[in-house]
Structure 1
Amino acid sequence: MHTISFVSASGGAGKTLFSILTAGALAIRGKKVLLIDMDPSASATLYLLDKYVEDCNLQTLLKNLVDYKLGRAARRADVNDCLARHRVAGAEASSFDLLPGGNLSDIQSEVFQVSGWNRLMADLVAPIESGYDYVIVDSPNWLFPLFPMTVSLSSLYVVMTRPGKSEIEKTKVFLQRVFAIMDRQFGIAQPQIYALVVLNQIRQNAQPDEVEREGKAAYDGLSREFPGIKFAYSDKKAKYYGEKKESAFWGFKYYEDLRLDSYKQNGHVLASSKVREEKPKLQFRAYLELFTKFVEETAVYERLVE
């Protein structure tokens, strides 16, 4: 079982989209997948279920676990009771489970009353995680006070970022914060080796040489700051970014087929016949190969649950 959190320094970088698309792609491959919506906005839940779930979600389950830990509840709630099944859009024979999100901000003061509160999410999911090949986490914003619970839950991270100097600088600050949490709160040595950076939303009209420049700038900027960090790059050449020239894979251009609304309307980029452009499919296949290799080859640290 592998647990991977999708994180980003700023909104709109593709964190929720790629957590959904990755969960769907793995399900299409026959893997058992759980997607956990940890974002307080619960946007993944809204997109996948077309509604918010009020009575049985991550908030209600965590509130129950807090009450149990503090002696205010006689038993723990069963996480299975809150799981929803999502059929992959455009590939309805494939599906994955969703743990619906809720507004954790409403209970954070109670969470902080529990000793070792930053391990509560790992404790919550522990009874069910062995039933899955992959657990994908749509993480909360890194400034969210409960973000450290993501670290105890996940062993690996997909870092979504966009090209450009200002965005890369934001990502540096963000990763410094996350790696400090991993080191100081959980004693994880060399935390940068557990992160895979994915470059997203490169200009749609960028030529292959321009894409390469953007990719190298992002890679060089982050790898200098964090030696050993992984980057979603492949030197296996193909016509990822244009019809005339083959190039290495550096990340994703901005495409209509790589949006949440498109997933709902047209289906998964790898599966739906409504997705007619070959470039986003080609790019996503390259990413998925790199993602799978990263997960399978990275020897993860041992997660501790109190």
Structure 2
Amino acid sequence: MQEGADAFAEGSRERQMRDIVIDEDGRAGLIAKHRMIESLPYFLRADEDWARTHLIAPLLNDDGAALALWRAMARRTHFRNVLSIIGAPMAERAVDRRLGRETRRRLVFSLVIESLHAFRENRAPAVPNPRIQQMLRTLDDEVRASAANAIQQFVRDVSAKPADNDAENGEEHEKSAAAGALFRVAAAPFLREVWPQERSLATPGVSSAFADLPATSGDAFAEAVEAIERFLVPFECWSMLEYGLYGEDEDAKKLAIIDDEQKARALLRLLDLTVGSSEGAVVPLDLTSALDQIESIVPKLAEVPEFRRLSAAARR
């Protein structure tokens, strides 16, 4: 449906059906609202005043029915047109432990993606960034890690998307940006200005979620490592897949992205911060391949203590 189309004109069968359904009480009424909220962008475009009264207002209540309706909200990713109306309450619900972790994870995903799009488009976000930062700070570690992973998904998906018109969320996409450029204009400022900077929030889960962002960021690999460095701690990294550097991409090894000294030093730093040094620490099975790539680009790095430690760990 195009925005502004009169889908529920006075006296139409569609309007009669909508009004009958929404007037239901009890469980039937809750199910009706649940199904409609799953398509909230449609109803907002069709009749915003009606949608605010009958679909958004129930979400603002603090009762069991509202919690059920927030689960409906979490079934899809929402964008600026919806979040400009209900983004702030969504940020509150994202930290509400009465909702399941998966529901909260999906709400957080929508909010993080909207903030990243705002940086990309050089506009004000639907939800102020300080509010997003406070939400991220308050989340439990697993949901916060999923928010970190959302940044990588954003860089990967948006940089790969051709210019088109997204009819569902009403946003026109500009020309597809290279991953490196997208990291610089959106992910980097988000990490600098929105992501909580406390070192106490640097956990193995968050570190693991950030680990493949540099590889996804292409030419901005070294800049991405620098941006996430303070959030990195050792985690159980079983292979270079955790870093987005395992296997091939268009007949070239993914490690081939490490093609200059700056990137080689950045990869060494990334590995040194995330591969543990304690006895029994998990070491990537293909760590030697990464070290070989570093050495092939900058042979002198094979002599630094960090390289030697990792090389010894790879031989265990």
Determine which structure has greater relative contact order: mean sequence separation of CA pairs < 8 Å that are 6+ residues apart, divided by chain length: 1
TM over 0.5, shorter chain: no
TM-score by length of 1: 0.36
TM-score by length of 2: 0.35
> Which has the larger helix fraction?
2
> Which has the larger strand fraction?
1
Greater C-alpha radius of gyration: 2
